[in-house]
Structure 1
Amino acid sequence: MRTLALTIALIFSVTFSNAQDAENTNHITVTINNIKNNNGHVVLSLHTADTFMKGPGIKSIKSEVVNGEIKVTFENVGAGTYAIMALHDENDNNRMDFSENGMPKESYGMSNNPMNFGPPEYQAAKFELTKEDLELNILF
Structure 2
Amino acid sequence: MKILASILVVVIISITNIITAQNKTIIATVLNISSDKGIVKFALYNKTNFRLKPLQSEIGNIENGKTTITFKEVAGGEYAIVCYHDKNSNDKMDFQPNGMPLEAYGASNNVMNFGPPKFDDAKFTVVDKNVSLEIKF
**TM (normalized to structure 2)?**
0.84
Map of 1:86 onto structure 2: 83
Q: Secondary structure at the match of 2:109?
A: coil
Map of 2:35 onto structure 1: 37
Q: Secondary structure at the match of 1:112?
A: helix
Does residue 130 (structure 1) correspond to residue 123 (structure 2)? The answer is no
CA distance in 1, matches of 2:118, 2:129: 25
Of 98, 102, 105, the residue aligned with 1:101 is 98
Does residue 61 (structure 1) correspond to residue 58 (structure 2)? The answer is yes
RMSD: 1.7
Residues paired across the two proteins, number: 124
Contact 2:83 2:106 in 1 (8 A): yes
**TM (normalized to structure 1)?**
0.82
CA distance in 2, matches of 1:101, 1:71: 31
Moved over 4 A (4+): 17-21
Task: Calculate percent identity across the aligned residue pairs.
Answer: 38
Q: Secondary structure at the match of 2:20?
A: helix
Segments of 5+ residues of structure 1 without an aligned counterpart are 1-16
CA distance in 1, matches of 2:57, 2:18: 21
CA distance in 1, matches of 2:37, 2:112: 25
Segments of 5+ residues of structure 2 without an aligned counterpart are 1-14
Q: Secondary structure at the match of 2:106?
A: strand
Within 5 A, what are the aligned runs for 1:15-54? 21-53=19-51
Q: Report the Cα offset of residue 50 of structure 1.
A: 1.2
Q: Report the Cα offset of residue 47 of structure 1.
A: 0.1
